Structure 1
């Protein structure tokens, strides 16, 4: 697929106050007719197809566009694009989940949002479709970090963000209950496919080019993209991809998935065959039971994610190799240097009292590769004798838990001769929190340009702005042309493993952290959920 080059233009940010006011005021329905928040002057309106949005600082914003409808545990159907005019002024409800209780939640959650420099069908701008993190269980694109106005303006692209079904509502495996549930286990993925079909059919009305659609996502969003790359129904719906700290080497097997469904039903005090009871439960009871212990992993909340069902997902995404159907899709793969500092709190109980005598036990509980923890520690101390116990803990948990999937995916694409793959590592530490380093999620504000949004640890200084310009240019370049917008970013090959290091200085290094990669490759990686 050709990627004609476009020149970038500049723009400005949607005011967060207006966006957040819409999110808090909304009931989740795009049919809402309540007045917009009071302003000194009436808002400038924008129209695309049947939808009416607003123009904020030069960017047209359409929020809460329904792309599908679904009943519980059933495949969604598309929403007609034509018909009476609808307002698209506030976010739709998010999928029911634990947490995010300050936002409207509903099983009716198939809504997307669009930011565009102009809703002109002749514009044909590249399109960037974002899938949110939170594994497959939580999360939402209502997060201010992922509002698309600055990315649309700074990159001269159309930005789409998508909510979909999560946790048991999107991924519970019910096929043993009969053919009615043939698509269960992958309904959340099929929602994303439906959203991409909506983009292909309708994004031109918003100024987008359906022939240049890039998907990108962080954490669970990246894993969802990796899974789509092995789903036949997703073939041809996107032309480039970028994943940020999110990989899916293997899906959940059907027997493991069934054990999880049965564990959930036991926690709900339902008989093993009572699928009707599962349908009748309130969504509040269902989501409360997600805290039950996972019967496969033996710890943590029960896992729900994509299932190897041999129809919607007929193979693992990156095992035993990269899915052939997506080898022609150019791809950016990235991670951050200190992934686990985001969820293994340096100020929390897991670090309290940490010393060399208990490091092995504490580290061993957090990694996904089965190696003797003390042997691992000995290797780290031999290679980096000046590192503190905390430095070893975070380096080992990151390299043994959050990074291996990316290495496997990049290596498999290189071995298969895929379309060019580019790999990055974010190493710029947060200037706002000296204990955070460069932690999980910290690349989001740089790519979206949301440095000043709630939840950003980037700071707003000149270095942060320069890095945001570089990362935003890299991603939008891939969307527009099929290559990152950084001229000297070498493609990833084996054994060189060229990696763009995004720090206060942007540079390319071959195989950074190579000895850690080799150390952890001495045993198989266990994908969470398998």
Structure 2
């Protein structure tokens, strides 16, 4: 009988061990995540105190320590927002002002001190939407490839970008870029804590798409971010400040006008207390795009050059040589698009001033182009492709390698709908290798091959600062002589060549350089 009991107990032991949640000890306490196959996942770890009440519109404050083991099995709230309809990355949480949480995916076999490379994801959404909970942002594929993956939330909209004379007085300096301060705080958390998950704080790469890519470009030029990463990846993040970075004077006036709309005209401490007490839904608003372009504007629209966190527009800083000396991978999708208020071809080309006639000859030589497609191609090159080249040139000028891509693969089930090419943000599930989370049962083997290829390049870059590797089409580094561009093609392959779009981008560059 004793033998039988011992055998029964032994048979239960593997089940008990498998059921035990993975734990990690970080600066604020212990966290327990979940086993998901060969991956351990820790969700909803606070990297800063909740930015609510008196902490609204303040720099991120340290998270409070806890006793015992914190349950890290579920995402924390994504940040306050009004989600876009038909979003490529729908949220899986209810947004809230208490949102400064991050998530970690690691190989289940990785122990503390394993010193694995680390990838930190910064989501997009025009700085007004986005979060870490969408299924296509799952970091499991990176962890299975031996990379520790981190994603974090940062404040959005008026919660993330807001200035006011009373805030300046309270802080003793101009403030307004709380979203960017959140990002730096998250990167500092990674530096201090990632070793507990098997990551190497000296091997951190940052990656972002759209507004997240814009954030990456700005982090490259921000003194407060220096030394927090060794490589950067910007997907459809541009690189020129085509939508002007607001001055501090403008930012404060927008804040005053927002307060006045809520009936708060006091510009001192009492007025600040009143707007800090406003319901989160009131601060959020319903249409920040309209608020940005209203007269008077009540949302600043994003980055403010307050002189501390954001000292100047990123392109100006790069022209001054103020860019972090790290390798960069940068690019766009083939049908990315930008912003234009033109209603017809004549107005579109006229918006480019003296370069308009040459651009018409380059983009619409026979006059047969359909306006919507033409506008998307031209503004995509203006907002994404030429600025990516601009950044690549400055990276090379700083003595580091840059790798430029154009992602043109379209899921087979979407080719009837997306005939112009790969739309904005559709490259994300390929680089993440989460295409089935995006396309479900419609995912084909060719879609999976395209994802494997894009993901392999990205993982190699995170490991070494160079995307090339065995079994992959060669991807030459960019230089001014060869102008190398890697194109992800519709057959799920990739081809590198001299940039076939160079002449068009040169015209756009000439226009950009002619602006005051």
Deviation at 1:126, TM superposition (A): 0.6
Question: Matched residues in 1 for 2:478 and 2:294: separation?
Answer: 33
- 2:398 corresponds to 1:404: no
1:470 partnered with 2:453:
yes
Determine if the alignment matches structure 1 residue 166 to structure 2 residue 156: yes
Match of 2:125 among 131, 134, 137: 134
Distance 1:255 1:232, change over 3 A: same
Aligned to 1:195, which of 182, 186, 191?
A: 186
Change (3 A) 1:323 1:66: farther
CA distance in 1 between counterparts of 2:495 and 2:322 reads 32
After superposition, the C-alpha distances for 1:211-239 in whole angstroms (9 at most, x for unaligned) are 10111011111111111122212111111
- Contact kept in structure 1, 2:75 and 2:93, CA below 8 Å: no
Aligned length: 470
- After superposition, residues 446-457 of structure 1 pair within 5 angstroms as 446-454=430-438, 456=439
The answer to whether the aligner puts 1:205 opposite 2:196 as a matched pair is yes
Corresponding residue of 2:462: 479
**SS of equivalent to 2:194:** helix
What pairs with 1:174-189 in structure 2 (closer than 5 Å)?
174-175=164-165, 177-181=167-171, 182=173, 184-189=175-180
The residue number in structure 2 matching 1:507 is 495
Encode CA deviations 1:114-155: one digit per residue, 9 max, x unaligned: 1111351132211100000012221111111111112221x2
Q: Which blocks of at least 5 consecutive residues in structure 2 are unaligned?
A: 1-16, 84-89
1:114, 1:159 within 8 Å by CA — same for their partners in 2?
yes
DSSP 3-state at the match of 2:120:
strand
Query: Aligned in 2, Cα 1:103/1:129: closer, same or farther, shift over 3 Å?
Result: same
2:103 is equivalent to residue 113 of structure 1: yes
- Could you tell me how far apart the structure 2 residues matched to 1:58 and 1:489 are? 30
Equivalent residue for 1:67? Answer: 47
State whether residues 370 and 524 of structure 1, in contact with CA within 8 Å, keep that contact through their aligned partners in structure 2.
Answer: no
Distance 1:194 1:150, change over 3 A: same
Q: Distance in 2 between matches of 1:218 and 1:526?
A: 28
In structure 2, the partner of 1:518 is: 506
Distance (whole Å) between structure 1 residues aligned to residue 440 and residue 159 of structure 2: 32
Aligned equivalent of 1:215: 206
Structure 1 position 163, deviation (Å)? 0.3
Are the counterparts in 1 of residues 44 and 102 from structure 2 also a CA contact under 8 Å? yes
Residues in 2 aligned to 1:176 and 1:322: alpha-carbon distance in whole angstroms? 33
The aligned counterpart of 2:482 is 496
Q: Note if 1:331 corresponds to 2:328.
A: yes
Contact 1:230 1:316 in 2 (8 A): no
Q: Which residue of 2 aligns with 1:316?
A: 313
> How far apart are residue 419 of structure 1 and its match?
0.9
CA distance 1:406–1:81, shift in 2 (3 Å):
farther
Larger radius of gyration: 2
Report the Cα distance in structure 1 between the residues aligned to 2:35 and 2:440, rounded to whole angstroms: 28
Higher helix share: 2
Is the 2:174–2:307 contact (alpha carbons within 8 Å) kept by the matching residues of 1?
no
Q: Which of the residues 286, 289, 304 maps onto 2:283?
A: 286
Q: Return the offset for 1:180.
A: 1.6
Structure 1 residue 173 displacement after superposition = 1.8
Distance change >3 Å, CA 427–CA 92, structure 1 → 2: same
Q: After the TM superposition, which residues 30-49 of structure 1 pair with which residues of structure 2 at under 5 Å, given as runs?
A: 43=19, 45-49=21-25
What is the deviation of 1:412?
2.7
The Cα offsets for residues 265-313 of structure 1, whole Å up to 9 and x where unpaired, read as 3443432623332212111111116537456797999443222222222
Moved more, 263-272 or 139-148: 263-272
Deviation digits for residues 337-374 of structure 1 (CA, Å, limit 9, x no counterpart): 10139x99xxxxx99xx9xxx4434x479x8x556867
Q: Structure 1's 371 and 277: CA in aligned 2 closer, same or farther, altered over 3 A?
A: farther
Partners of 1:229 and 1:323 within 8 A in 2:
no
Counterpart selection for 1:256 from 234, 238, 250: 250
How far did 1:496 drift? 2.5
Q: 2:461 & 2:321 partners in 1: Cα distance?
A: 21
Contact 2:167–2:174 (CA<8 Å) still a contact in 1?
no
TM-score by length of 2: 0.82
Summarize the Cα distance change of 1:297–1:417 in structure 2 as closer, same or farther, 3 Å threshold. Answer: farther
* Residue aligning to 1:88: 72
The reply to whether residue 360 of structure 1 matches residue 346 of structure 2 is yes
How many angstroms does 1:87 deviate by? 0.5
Contact 1:475 1:485 in 2 (8 A): no
5+ residue gaps in structure 1?
A: 1-40, 345-349
